[in-house]
Chain A
């Protein structure tokens, strides 16, 4: 009793205390738990706790054959499902030295870019909502619906498609596909101006994001922050430019690079990237060559023993797939280098010294998808 009485009285205002942001916080976009050390409302440091939605996808891949692995990669970064599928397909095709038809390459590139636009639209919705603008959510989802309709007509599903298969595609594109994509581009070129009016030009948004969560180029490289978040810091990391796959070599597009590395720059990167994606689609959509939609493949795919690595540019950064094969029909070990996991590792560095409301803005600009972090 005596000891309790003699305890020193702490000044609560100066004391550092911890709060849990998540796992069920709306701004963490899923089950991510951030243990935030606060002094007042200033973030001192932050520890992300992952694993709430860990499903052991890498381990599950070890019992599946290569065509079966495709449907698991959908469920990592579900907003860029096609691009994840593309990574595994490219890896298997390169390992087996299969030449896929030109038609497949064109279709895959167009669909990847559509997927990127859809992903950035959903990011725009949720970024606006994180900062308190609920209207963004309705407009963004309304336009994303158009892309999902294109997907649904051609492949039958809206979010988890499993459309690519090693060697080509599951089925040919729908006859309406080209017309619908052209209509969408025409439609979205008009609607993206609304996006700029509602959020991009808004001074309140600028004040909340300018100079918040600054990440220098050196830090971006050392943390491995890729994608629009890394390019906002001036780190030229676009896999489509540096290690082209598909028909990105034939398309004329710019790699968007920023300099400031703050939240506002990361926002602008994605807005400009949507326009670049539309430019790529416009160049390719009329030139899809005729031909088969799948190359001739063996019934059972066995990769020669060895190690393989393939990288693609997913909507949030560089996705790497690493496979160790022992010559069997399923991989000996499979590892995914997911973009969100690396981007999350920089969150602690970026948010130090910010207010807790800024943490929401920084998290929104990183655009994390939790199933991709945990896998």
Chain B
């Protein structure tokens, strides 16, 4: 007889604790002010990422299409997984000497782990984090990017 009562009191307590939990869900159900979801593709215009957001590595250019990269290759050695490759070119200086400058700063987004070591290592602050986060493309080759824009040159006051 005792176990008989225990059996039914267990069911009763289970229903009671279930209802206690459902008061919480009910409260949220009737207070639409607490909705936290974002309507993502619709709010794309107003969506603002945080300033330090790590979207991708970019090389900022000024309005005269100039960047700060000297092509020293420190970011290439700092990178743990071969994301960055620097192709250098030689140019003839007016005084007859040959100088190495950057030809292409190749950045493979598909291999990047966003650790930030290249940006920390750069002695001339040529690299920065970009805010772009929609990286989906139809072809894998599009993930290999050249960071210095075509026809760009180095800002004059950068010394190696």
Chain A contact residues, CB within 8 Å of chain B: 64, 67-68, 70-72, 135, 139, 142, 145, 152-157, 160, 162, 165, 170-171, 174, 194, 197-199, 201-204, 207
Q: Are B50 and A197 in contact (CB under 8 A)?
A: no
Q: Are A153 and B116 in contact (CB under 8 A)?
A: no
Known: A162-B115, A170-B116. A155 touches B52 (CB 8 A): yes
Q: Are A162 and B116 in contact (CB under 8 A)?
A: yes
Q: Are B23 and A197 in contact (CB under 8 A)?
A: yes
Q: Are A198 and B24 in contact (CB under 8 A)?
A: yes
Known: A157-B54, A171-B52, A198-B24. A68 touches B17 (CB 8 A): no
Known: A154-B52, A204-B18. A197 touches B24 (CB 8 A): yes
**Residues of chain B contacted by A171 (CB below 8 angstroms):** 52
> CB-nearest residue of chain B relative to A201?
B17
Q: Are A201 and B117 in contact (CB under 8 A)?
A: no
CA distance A233 to B21 in the complex (A): 28
Could you list some 28 contacts between A and B, CB below 8 A? Answer: A68-B78, A68-B80, A68-B115, A68-B117, A70-B115, A71-B115, A145-B36, A153-B52, A154-B52, A155-B52, A156-B52, A156-B129, A160-B114, A162-B113, A162-B115, A170-B116, A170-B120, A171-B52, A197-B20, A197-B21, A197-B23, A198-B21, A198-B25, A201-B17, A201-B21, A202-B21, A203-B16, A204-B14
**Is the CB of B97 closer than 8 A to any CB of chain A?**
no
> CB-nearest residue of chain B relative to A70?
B115
Known: A68-B80, A70-B115, A71-B80. A203 touches B13 (CB 8 A): yes
Minimum-distance CB pairs A-B, first 3: A71-B115, A68-B80, A156-B54
Q: Are A67 and B21 in contact (CB under 8 A)?
A: no
CA distance A117 to B113 in the complex (A): 25
12 new A-B contacts at CB < 8 Å, known A156-B50, A157-B114, A197-B21: A68-B115, A71-B80, A156-B114, A156-B129, A170-B116, A170-B120, A198-B24, A199-B21, A202-B14, A203-B14, A204-B14, A204-B17
Q: Are B17 and A202 in contact (CB under 8 A)?
A: yes
CA distance A298 to B70 in the complex (A): 23
Chain B contact residues, CB within 8 Å of chain A: 10, 13-14, 16-18, 20-21, 23-25, 36, 50-54, 78, 80, 113-117, 120, 129
- Interface residue from B10, B20, B53, B80 paired with A152 (Cβ < 8 Å): B53
**Residues of chain A contacted by B80 (CB below 8 angstroms):** 64, 68, 71-72
Q: Are A142 and B50 in contact (CB under 8 A)?
A: no
Q: Are B50 and A153 in contact (CB under 8 A)?
A: yes
**Residues of chain B contacted by A145 (CB below 8 angstroms):** 36
CA distance A202 to B20 in the complex (A): 8
**Residues of chain A contacted by B16 (CB below 8 angstroms):** 203
Known: A157-B114, A160-B113, A170-B120. A194 touches B17 (CB 8 A): no
**Residues of chain B contacted by A197 (CB below 8 angstroms):** 20-21, 23-24
**Residues of chain B contacted by A162 (CB below 8 angstroms):** 113-116
Closest CB of chain B to A71's CB: distance in Å? Answer: 4
**Residues of chain B contacted by A67 (CB below 8 angstroms):** 117
> CB-nearest residue of chain A relative to B115?
A71
- Interface residue from A68, A154, A174, A194 paired with B24 (Cβ < 8 Å): A194
CA distance A286 to B51 in the complex (A): 24
CA distance A70 to B50 in the complex (A): 23
CA distance A155 to B50 in the complex (A): 10
CA distance A353 to B25 in the complex (A): 36
CA distance A165 to B116 in the complex (A): 11
Known: A197-B20, A203-B17. A135 touches B25 (CB 8 A): yes
> CB-nearest residue of chain A relative to B77?
A65
CA distance A204 to B117 in the complex (A): 50
> CB-nearest residue of chain B relative to A143?
B36
**Residues of chain A contacted by B13 (CB below 8 angstroms):** 203
> CB-nearest residue of chain B relative to A152?
B50
CA distance A199 to B20 in the complex (A): 10
CA distance A194 to B26 in the complex (A): 12
Closest CB of chain B to A75's CB: distance in Å? Answer: 8
> CB-nearest residue of chain A relative to B49?
A152
**Residues of chain B contacted by A194 (CB below 8 angstroms):** 24
Among B10, B16, B117, B120: residue with most chain A CB under 10 A: B117
